Structure 1
Amino acid sequence: MPPFEKSMEMIPFKQRKCLASRKDEGFSIRSKFPNKLPVIVERYIREKHLPLMDKSKFLVPFEFTIGQFISLLRSKIDLDSSQALYLLVSENHMTCLTASMGEVYSQYSDQDGFLYMTYASQDMFG
């Protein structure tokens, strides 16, 4: 991957696109896929141990649980069972693993129509 593309991945999605563009994209996704939720997942800015994912946008079914989504992310990041992965919603909220993505989306979705999540290892707490 060229250095420019790698550096663009480190810029948060909200800073790469203006609000109007994000709203249009979120509305378009929701109208094309009414049974799915648009989710943006990015690595915590100070994370040093976990790799970047090859994509940050996900379409997730309403009934998916947070636990199922974390399992999906673990496979995308290719973590082994001994590595910790924490998922924060809207940058500073942790949710129950049994909560559905629909419940989390209705509570924490952004005004642009996306649900923003951040992943990190345990080092973010200390």
Structure 2
Amino acid sequence: MKPKPFKEEFTLEERAKESAAMIASYPDRIPVIVEKFSRSNLPELEKRNNCRYLVPCNMPVGQFILILRSRLHLSPGTALFVFVNNTLPQTVQLMGSVYESYKDEGDGFLYLCYSSEKTFG
């Protein structure tokens, strides 16, 4: 069964409370939600809680993609692209910079979507 999107599973108040608690406990990290693009043929993350990440602000996007690859158990030839607000962040960009530009102003999470295709939409 396909999991519900994080924003549908939890209320805005629940999400905002969770991200605020994460930021308060770990001020050098950012709260990230990772979900599979609906039309992607890549696997889902194994457990529902695996969509939540606390990522160091100074981690490059490329390093985070490597972590996702290992969690998804992808073969070396399988492409993995990560999108934020329908854009492809540069792999050298720091996650903290992406967070500042694209975080959800309502709940404080950064939402990333992954796919095996470069095109989105």
With normalisation by structure 2, the TM-score equals 0.91
Aligned to 1:117: 112
Aligned to 1:63: 58
Gaps in structure 2 of 5+ consecutive residues: none
Structure with larger Rg:
1
Where do 4+ consecutive residues of structure 1 move more than 2 Å?
123-126
Number of corresponding residues? 117
Q: In angstroms, what is the RMSD of aligned CA positions?
A: 1.5
Where 2:83 maps in the other structure, the secondary structure is strand
Q: Distance in 2 between matches of 1:123 and 1:62?
A: 25
The equivalent position to 1:37 in structure 2, one of 30, 36, 52, is 30
2:36 and 2:115 in contact (8 A); partners too: yes
Residue by residue over 1:26-51, the C-alpha shift from the partner in whole angstroms, topping out at 9 and shown as x without a partner, is 10110011111100000001112x11
With normalisation by structure 1, the TM-score equals 0.87
The alpha-carbon deviation at position 124 of structure 1 amounts to 5.0
Gaps in structure 1 of 5+ consecutive residues: 1-5
Aligned to 2:95: 101
Query: Percent identity, aligned pairs only?
Result: 38
